[in-house]
Structure 1
Amino acid sequence: MQVCAAPPFALEHALSCDARWRPHDLLHLQRLQAFDNEPSWVREAFGRAPYAVVRRAPAANGFVAIGMRGVGRSERYGTWASSADVVSAVSPEALAFSSTPLAGRDALPAFTALAALQEDATGPLSAFAWGPTGSAGFELAAHVPTVTASSDLDLLIRTHDKPLAQDFASELLDYLQALAQRIGVRVDAQLDTPAGGVALAEWAAGKPRVLARHARGPQLVADPWAATSHGDDA
């Protein structure tokens, strides 16, 4: 997030994340509270699509950390929503198989790649719960044009309860890169682990430690599936 609103609660009350929602889930909101220094584009974006993505940050009871997106890459804003204003929520893995692109937009490279993954029932990705995030996930959830011809396909792969061996991670990365090259789109996959979000490419590279993006901040870890002192608020 390039801009982030100050939390509307005392930091000592920000103990964990609401277990009802996980990072990258998309929330349909009935209201968006305004905070000081809110970027000018946020109200227009919310009026066009009253959706926000759950971001990794601890929040006090009754609040959820969210990210708003505007038209361009520069329009990203981290803010807070009241839990009472959440109308519904949808996870990336639910979007993968329950939503379709808007009419006439399935030929966009990001959606073409997504369709290829959906149709491959025996590929290495089929062993996991997974789904689209980023612009593709947002468009599928909000039903407003968001993906462009140059958009990446961002994926989240749930491995919280299923450790991913590095050799299998390398196989999975090769599979996604071959798909991306064939279609002409960049595919960027993130692993959801107990330590937080870890880039598939980084884990597959066999580094001794990888960067895990956790609710309480980024951390370098040797094994993202080992017990952490942070608990389950990844």
Structure 2
Amino acid sequence: MGTCAAPTCAAPPFAADSELQRDVRWQPHDLLRLSRLPSFDGEPDWVRTAFASAPFAVVRRAQSAPGYIAIGLRGNGRAQRYGTWAEVGDVEAAIAPEDLAVSLPADAERRALPAFALYAALRHEALYLDAFSWGPTGSAGFELVSGMPTVTATSDLDLLIRTPRTLSRERATQMLTELELHAQHAGIRVDVQLETPAGGIALAEWAAGKPRVMARHAQGPRLIADPWAVLATHA
């Protein structure tokens, strides 16, 4: 079913021997607006208040039984993260990171925060990203979708770049260098994940030239040499 990166996770609401799958209608990092949030034993106290304020959850990278989606909820601060499950019928809307490519907060004070200032700069100056579908995840993505002020003055900018075709190490290094220069100017870090056929990998790992990189997959993390090798095997 994949691992849960949140500090606390709800037990799956389906039998251990259920036939598992990943519903391709929703991808990891998509934000879902939910009409209802099921309650499970051990749920943290803050969850209901957070969901009432912003009924959104992020799609986790995990398999589930038909009718369920693995999701993550966020409250105030890094300690308030909860991995749980939604029912498919409760999904009202889905917003992918690339759907936010032209979004910025309406409030000028929020737009001036380093994470949003960096995002705006990348949108206008990072022409090398135009060849990809990409967008913000993490606190910036959540605020742009929910309207809740989750970005702080020290927040990193988390980005997802979809790379369905091979990204060379050389190009990855060039992209990372350019992105880090922008981030240094903003005074924060940029954390970039590539979405590949094998799962999510860190741009920094791929650019570093490591023989194998960690790919985060619905069936769990694994070390692989080529995140795009699956394309060759199915060609």
Alignment TM class, shorter chain as reference: over 0.9
Q: Which runs of 5+ in 1 are unaligned?
A: none
Instruction: For 1:180 and 1:198, locate their aligned partners in 2 and report how far apart those are by CA, in whole Å.
Output: 20
Moved more, 194-203 or 112-121: 112-121
Residue 132 of structure 2 aligns with an amino acid whose one-letter code is: F
Sequence identity (%) = 62
Of 179, 187, 202 in structure 2, the residue corresponding to residue 199 of structure 1 is 202
Of 146, 149, 158 in structure 2, the residue corresponding to residue 154 of structure 1 is 158
Alignment partner of 1:209 is 2:220: no
Instruction: For 1:176 and 1:212, locate their aligned partners in 2 and report how far apart those are by CA, in whole Å.
Output: 21
Of 132, 139, 146 in structure 2, the residue corresponding to residue 135 of structure 1 is 139
Instruction: For 1:126 and 1:12, locate their aligned partners in 2 and report how far apart those are by CA, in whole Å.
Output: 44
Normalising by structure 2, we get a TM-score of 0.93
Alignment partner of 1:92 is 2:102: no
Partner residue of 1:45? 50
Q: Which runs of 5+ in 2 are unaligned?
A: 1-5
Residue 190 of structure 1 aligns with an amino acid whose one-letter code is: Q
Partner residue of 1:61? 66
Alignment partner of 1:166 is 2:185: no
Partner-residue secondary structure (3-state), 1:155: strand
Deviation at 1:44, TM superposition (A): 0.8
Instruction: For 1:221 and 1:182, locate their aligned partners in 2 and report how far apart those are by CA, in whole Å.
Output: 33
Instruction: For 2:190 and 2:75, locate their aligned partners in 1 and report how far apart those are by CA, in whole Å.
Output: 21
Partner residue of 1:2? 7
Moved more, 47-56 or 99-108: 99-108
Q: How many residues align?
A: 226
Partner-residue secondary structure (3-state), 1:13: coil
The alignment yields a C-alpha RMSD, in angstroms, of 1.3
Of 24, 27, 31 in structure 1, the residue corresponding to residue 32 of structure 2 is 27
